[in-house]
């Protein structure tokens, strides 16, 4: 009887990366945090208020270019680019106003 041989499975574990940042919302300075989601593919950055665990914005590194950037870049750079994109597109304000989680690609 032959034994079933499976190829080895490799997991890439990313370090927990959390960046806090401030943004002015309705004239008030509000603290937010951005973190790389643990596990899964594509890699994602989740933005939430610093005083709450409720997700506001999810930025995915999808597609070939996004996936390569997420793998090659330092985690700090990956998170910073995701935050910059969310701020430039007004995603954080829209998520707060609508109460919905917004998703976009990096």
Number of domains in the chain: 1
CA distance 79 to 47: 10
Query: pLDDT at residue 57 above 50?
Result: yes
Query: pLDDT at residue 69 above 60?
Result: yes
Query: pLDDT at residue 12 above 50?
Result: no
Question: What are 96's two structure tokens?
Answer: 């707060």
CA distance 80 to 44: 12
Does residue 42 form part of some domain?
yes
Does residue 1 form part of some domain?
no
Does residue 6 form part of some domain?
no
Range of the domain at 67: 18-105
Does residue 44 form part of some domain?
yes
* pLDDT range class, residue 61, cuts 50, 70, 90: confident
Does residue 47 form part of some domain?
yes
Greatest alpha-carbon pair distance for the chain in Å reads 72
Query: pLDDT at residue 4 above 80?
Result: no
Does residue 13 form part of some domain?
no
Rounded mean pLDDT of the chain?
83
CA distance 100 to 78: 24
């Amino acid at each position: 009887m032959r034994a079933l041989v499976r190829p080895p499975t490799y997991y890439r574990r990313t370090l927990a990366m959390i960046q806090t940042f401030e943004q002015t919302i309705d004239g008030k300075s509000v603290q937010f945090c951005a973190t790389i989601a643990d596990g899964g593919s594509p890699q994602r950055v989740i933005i939430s208020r610093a005083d709450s665990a409720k997700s506001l914005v999810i930025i995915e590194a999808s597609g070939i270019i996004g996936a390569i950037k997420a793998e090659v870049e330092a985690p700090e750079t990956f998170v910073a680019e995701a935050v910059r994109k969310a701020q430039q597109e007004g995603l954080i304000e829209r998520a707060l106003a609508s109460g919905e989680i917004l998703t976009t690609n990096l």
